[in-house]
């Protein structure tokens, strides 16, 4: 009889262990099913879940600052320069252009320009507003068997600017700028030639430049 009671006790204990194991395994099984339905976990998923990445580079070699070279596709000549962005909300740029003298309408005409701009990014994104200050100069010469002449046009300018800079996580950026350059100090001079070409160039420049000119361009560059 004692053997029978011992056997029943062992069987009851085994049943209790199995029931307990099943009770504990059920929630784990449900959790595993939910995890499988949601898809496999990966370090990338976990990293992105807690990331505040805005999809744009915001800091470089200097913490909170991005700086690098830029190439501008402007008219009448391409520009080279530098671009800076500070703490997402502030920026600046500098560009320079030089176009050697080429023959146009019976004259040799050359062009040079530089400008510096300050930018404010009101939303901390791509769009900015700002101001641009700079100088441009045009020099021309006319030469013929009858005689020669020359013309020079110079202007310092200041104006409002609006544009955008799209900065990739790698640091590559593309941009566009639109501004109006109001003349601060405009001047034009000419040495007449027998054909009257130099004077004609001066008169044309005065007609279209002395009241201001639009500045429109696109740029590419890399920020470090």
CATH (domain of 189) = 2.40.160
Q: Which domain holds residue 213?
A: 65-222
Tens of pLDDT along the chain (224 residues)?
Answer: 434 434 444 444 444 334 443 343 444 344 444 444 444 444 443 333 333 456 889 999 999 999 999 999 988 889 999 999 999 999 999 999 998 888 876 789 999 999 999 999 999 999 999 999 999 999 999 988 888 999 999 999 999 999 999 999 999 999 999 999 999 999 999 999 988 899 999 999 999 999 999 999 999 999 99
Whether 82 and 178 share a structural domain: yes
Whether 205 and 112 share a structural domain: yes
Q: Is 92 exposed, middle or buried (0-12, 13-18, 19+ CB in 10 A)?
A: middle
Whether 5 and 96 share a structural domain: no
| Cβ proximity of 107 and 198 under 8 Å | yes
Whether 1 and 105 share a structural domain: no
Q: What's the predicted TM-score (pTM) here? A: 0.72
Whether 167 and 202 share a structural domain: yes
d(C-alpha 61, C-alpha 2), whole Å: 83
The answer as to whether 59 is a domain residue is no
d(C-alpha 214, C-alpha 163), whole Å: 13
Whether 96 and 181 share a structural domain: yes
């Amino acid at each position: 009889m004692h053997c029978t009671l011992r056997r029943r006790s062992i069987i009851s204990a085994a049943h209790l262990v199995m029931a307990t194991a099943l009770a504990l395994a059920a929630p784990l099984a449900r959790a595993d099913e939910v995890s499988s339905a949601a898809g496999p976990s990966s370090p990338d998923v976990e990293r992105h879940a807690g990331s505040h990445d805005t999809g744009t580079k915001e800091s470089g070699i200097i913490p909170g600052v991005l700086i690098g070279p830029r190439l501008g596709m402007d008219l009448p000549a391409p520009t080279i320069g530098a671009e800076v962005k500070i703490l997402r909300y502030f920026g600046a740029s500098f560009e320079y252009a030089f176009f050697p003298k080429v023959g146009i309408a019976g004259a040799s005409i050359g062009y040079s320009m530089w400008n510096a701009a300050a930018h404010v990014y009101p939303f901390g994104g791509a769009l900015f507003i700002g101001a641009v200050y700079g100088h441009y100069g045009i020099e021309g010469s006319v030469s013929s068997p009858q005689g020669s002449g020359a013309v020079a046009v110079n202007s310092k300018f200041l104006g409002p600017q609006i544009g955008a800079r799209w900065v990739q996580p790698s640091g590559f950026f593309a941009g566009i700028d639109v501004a109006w350059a109001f003349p601060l100090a405009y001047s034009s001079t000419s040495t007449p030639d027998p054909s009257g070409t130099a004077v004609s160039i001066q008169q044309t420049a005065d007609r279209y430049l002395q009241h201001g000119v639009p500045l429109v361009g696109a740029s590419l560059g890399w920020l470090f």
